[in-house]
């Protein structure tokens, strides 16, 4: 009697899936499990790819090494960790990282005992003649300026007779000339024994950074000179 307008009122608060076929019914627990599983698989995939990348880098491009001894003072300290670029193994002449230059700090198997690894600096290139007189290094008769040396570690450098660097070999020396077993005593390093050149120090924290490369001026060539090219030029 008094409730005639009730039929025109709309009821609110009651919703069902049958009201609209476009309404999706979501089961939160099931969706959560599926989402967690999907994210877990993606994480495993990313970890696997990262491991593969690091393995490839270690095999073909970069390798960590530990410095043992004091033959490279003051540049390198005993116990420091270095990263070694292995691209020199592939002889990529178009980039400096792909070949060996004078002043590079290289890591190689010791020719007299390949079970040992040494780290030294490249001084003489194939085809050059290296000689030591009065504590100074001479390459093809020209004095080599070595700003990376410290006089405290070069007080008793003995003379060494002129030595011709053969093809595919290098003359190497430690920066600590007073206490370094190098080409002055046991000869040249075959190119095939050099497995990389050090370029970055990642330990100790106070010395993290790129290693110093030797600079020798325009009159001293950095890269090995093709002797055939040089002879053709002299003609």
CA distances from 149 to 146, 228, 230 (A): 6, 33, 31
Backbone angles phi, psi at 143, to 5 degrees: -65, 135
Catalytic residue from among 86, 96, 120, 183: 120
Non-local (6+) Cβ contacts of 174 within 8 A are 71, 72, 120, 121, 180, 181, 182
Question: Is-catalytic flag, 120?
Answer: yes
**Which one of 71, 96, 180, 183 is the catalytic residue?**
71
- What burial letters (b/e) apply to 142-175, b meaning 16+ CB within 10 Å? eebebebbeeebbeebeebeebebeeebbbbbbb
End-to-end CA distance of the chain: 126
76's tokens: 């390198």
d(CA 120, CA 145): 17
86 is catalytic: no
3-state secondary structure of 113: strand
How far, in Å, are 42, 159, 199 from residue 103 at the CA level?
Answer: 46, 21, 11
- The number of C-alpha atoms within 13 Å of 184 and in the hemisphere containing its C-beta is 22
The residues that are catalytic are 71, 120
């Amino acid at each position: 009697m008094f409730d005639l307008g009730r039929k025109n009122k709309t009821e609110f608060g009651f919703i069902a899936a049958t009201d609209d076929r476009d309404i999706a019914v979501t089961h939160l627990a099931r969706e959560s499990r599926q989402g967690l599983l999907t994210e877990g698989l993606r994480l495993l995939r990313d970890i696997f790819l990262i491991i593969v990348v690091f393995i490839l880098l270690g095999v073909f491009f970069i390798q960590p090494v530990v410095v043992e001894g004091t033959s490279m003072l003051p540049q390198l300290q005993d116990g420091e960790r270095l990263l070694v670029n292995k691209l020199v193994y592939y002889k990529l002449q178009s980039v400096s990282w792909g070949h060996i230059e004078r002043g590079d700090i290289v890591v190689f198997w010791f020719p007299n005992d390949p079970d040992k690894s040494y780290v030294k600096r490249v001084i003489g290139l194939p085809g050059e003649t290296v000689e030591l007189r009065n504590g100074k290094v001479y390459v093809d008769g020209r004095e080599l300026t070595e700003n990376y040396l410290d006089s405290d570690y070069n007080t008793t450098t003995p003379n060494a007779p002129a030595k011709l660097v053969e093809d595919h070999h290098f003359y190497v020396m430690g920066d600590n000339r007073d206490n370094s077993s190098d080409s002055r005593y046991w000869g040249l390093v075959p190119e095939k024994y050099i497995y990389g050149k050090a370029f970055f120090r990642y330990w100790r924290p106070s010395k993290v950074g790129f290693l110093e490369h030797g600079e020798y001026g325009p009159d001293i060539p950095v890269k090995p000179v093709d002797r055939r090219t040089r002879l053709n030029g002299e003609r």
